[in-house]
Structure 1
Amino acid sequence: MMSFISLLLVGILFPATQAKQFTKCELSQALKEMDGYGGVTLPEWICILFHSSGCDTQAVVSNNGSTEYGLFQISNKFWCKDNQNLKSENFCDISCDKFLDDDLTDDMMCARKILDKEGIDHW
């Protein structure tokens, strides 16, 4: 009984990061405002995100000496800052862990910057 109460208190004091594994339908609803941005259609975004992150906001992948975070697989090399790469350019001016929750607002903001600077071939 005592360990249950301790576990309950830990769960209350340290809530889990809210993450989401999107279905393609949920993702198309959440990314409506990305439709057509930079000439990229919503079905293209869905396809890109399905293949890069599996539509999982907690996806973290090591790739050629950098780490990519979240749904859009945003790299710590240029776009965000983490504890692994303190010399990141951090063009999106954000901590990489912000891409691991279910709030896609900052993810989409950074994805637009990447698209403006690198184009869709970045993904």
Structure 2
Amino acid sequence: MVSFVPLFLVSILFPATQAEQLTKCELPHVLKDLNDYGGITLPEWACILFHTSGYDTQAIVKNNGSTEYGLFQISNKLWCGSSQIPQSRNICDISCDKFLDDDLTDDIMCVKKILDIRGIGYWLAHKALCSEKLEQWRCETL
């Protein structure tokens, strides 16, 4: 029991840093600037983000020599800068690490650039899983 007390105190004083795990019903509020941008609705975004990052703002996925960051899984191959790929075009002119914080302002600015340049096809989940039958991705509050 004596060893439990110090461990308990440490866990209270130094909580683990955790990613913000958003929910389907929080998305309309945090993504309101993306609603209908490029013709993509919020239920479509809810579906895409569920399948790409699981609504996790700190998700990191290694993918064929590149890394995808954050809620929107933005790749360091073209869109952001990282030491892993120093020759990245960094089209969004931002460090990839900025996509891992809970402030989605810069993420959304980059997503708009991606939509303007590549379209929604950048997110492969859209065509395969999120282009129809979107009722389940709507947030119904009572």
The TM-score with structure 1 as length reference comes to 0.85
The residue type equivalent to 1:66 in the other structure is S
- Segments ≥4 residues shifted beyond 2 Å: 16-19
Corresponding residue number in structure 1 for 2:111: 111
Residues 6-43 of structure 1: CA deviation (Å, up to 9, x unaligned): x7xxx6xxxx8673110111112110110000000011
Instruction: State the number of aligned residues.
Output: 114
The residue type equivalent to 2:26 in the other structure is E
Question: Structure 2, unaligned stretches of length 5 or more?
Answer: 1-5, 124-142
Would the aligned equivalents of 1:70 and 1:100 in 2 still touch at CA under 8 Å?
Answer: yes
Would the aligned equivalents of 1:20 and 1:56 in 2 still touch at CA under 8 Å?
Answer: yes
Q: Does 1:37 align with 2:24?
A: no
CA RMSD of aligned residues (A): 1.9
Q: 1:88 to 1:51 in 2, by over 3 A?
A: same
The residue type equivalent to 2:44 in the other structure is E
Q: Does 1:68 align with 2:68?
A: yes
Question: Structure 1, unaligned stretches of length 5 or more?
Answer: none
Corresponding residue number in structure 1 for 2:23: 23
Identity %: 69
Larger of the two Rg values belongs to structure:
2
Kindly indicate which of the two structures has a greater share of residues assigned to helix.
1
Residues 47-102 of structure 1: CA deviation (Å, up to 9, x unaligned): 10110000000000011111000000000000000110101000000000000010
* Higher mean displacement: 109-118 or 24-33: 24-33
- The alignment partner of 2:103 has SS state of coil
Which has the higher relative contact order, 1 or 2, with Cα contacts under 8 A spaced 6 or more apart? 2
The residue type equivalent to 2:95 in the other structure is S
The TM-score with structure 2 as length reference comes to 0.74
